[in-house]
Amino acid sequence: MTLFDMTGKVAVITGSTRGIGLAIAERMAEHGAKVVISSRKADVCEAVAKELNDRFGAGTAAAVAANISSKENLQNLVDEANRIYGKIDVLVCNAASNPYYGPLAGISDDQFRKILDNNIVANNWLISMVVPQMIARKDGSVIIVSSIGGLKGSTILGAYAISKAADMQLARNLACEYGPHNVRVNCIAPGLIKTDFAKALWDNPENLKASTARSPLLRIGIPDEIAGAAVFLGSAAGNFMTGQTMVIDGGATIS
């Protein structure tokens, strides 16, 4: 057994059919975890779970579709994960929404509320549903995928950045609440990563050049470069870390 071994652990990962969520699911499965694949579309979840079962062995992955905007969907996700695997050791709140790019003066109330509800409120719902069993076992790890947007000002991602800053505070608050029960809560804050979700920020070569020009590594990241941090936080390697935000951004925030 190594520090990063996840054998015997069950991880529920939202937004795990593509991008960062999929990379986290793949690496956790590779390190021995059972993973619950979840996103809005059931057929896509099933396809990803089948792929992981083919690669890592039958029973490695299960598919449970859920829309994070629905409290009932999230409760069903938790119930099904418990029914299939008997427990949840690691929760990764990765799914998020950002329906608006532009100055805050132009955002509609519905768009603003959707961002805050899906990126903050839904995370708190899901964590609250999962944590009681972690408290009972005196062990658990909650990982919220935030963003470096929550550490900087932005002229085009204002509401999203607000939600991601709030996620960091949510992790700090819950780390204080659940720490006495040996339940750890942390954030990962990726920089610019080549995902469909962030396509508006890198698809244009001029935008990409401007975004990476002052980054020490001078490039965009890939989803797999975020996954290792999640494995760290979900395994014994991360047992003494809680309430923190791990920035993985190629150095963009230090330059």
Where do the DSSP E strands lie in the chain? 10-14, 34-38, 61-63, 90-93, 140-145, 183-190, 245-248
Would you call 100 a catalytic residue per the annotation?
A: no
Task: Give 93-132 as a DSSP string.
Answer: E--------B-GGG--HHHHHHHHIIIIIHHHHHHHHHHH
Residues 6+ apart with CB under 8 A from 72: none
Return the bridge partners of 185, or none.
142
pLDDT band at 240 (very low <50, low <70, confident <90, very high): very high
SS3 content of the chain, % helix, strand, coil (to 5): 50, 15, 35
> What digits encode the pLDDT tens for the residues 181-205?
999 999 999 999 987 766 666 567 7
In the chain, pLDDT over 90 holds for what percent of residues? 89
d(CA 211, CA 139): 39
d(CA 114, CA 96): 10
Asked if 60 and 52 count as a contact pair (C-beta separation under 8 A), the reply is yes
How high is the pLDDT of residue 206? 76
In the chain, pLDDT over 70 holds for what percent of residues? 97
Active-site residue, from 85, 100, 101, 160: 160
In this structure, CATH architecture of domain 10-249:
3-Layer(aba) Sandwich (3.40)
> How distant is the alpha carbon of residue 171 from its chain centre?
12
Tokens of 32: 């021995």
d(CA 143, CA 131): 12
> What digits encode the pLDDT tens for the residues 142-194?
999 999 999 999 999 999 999 999 999 999 999 999 999 999 999 999 999 98
Confidence (pTM)? 0.96
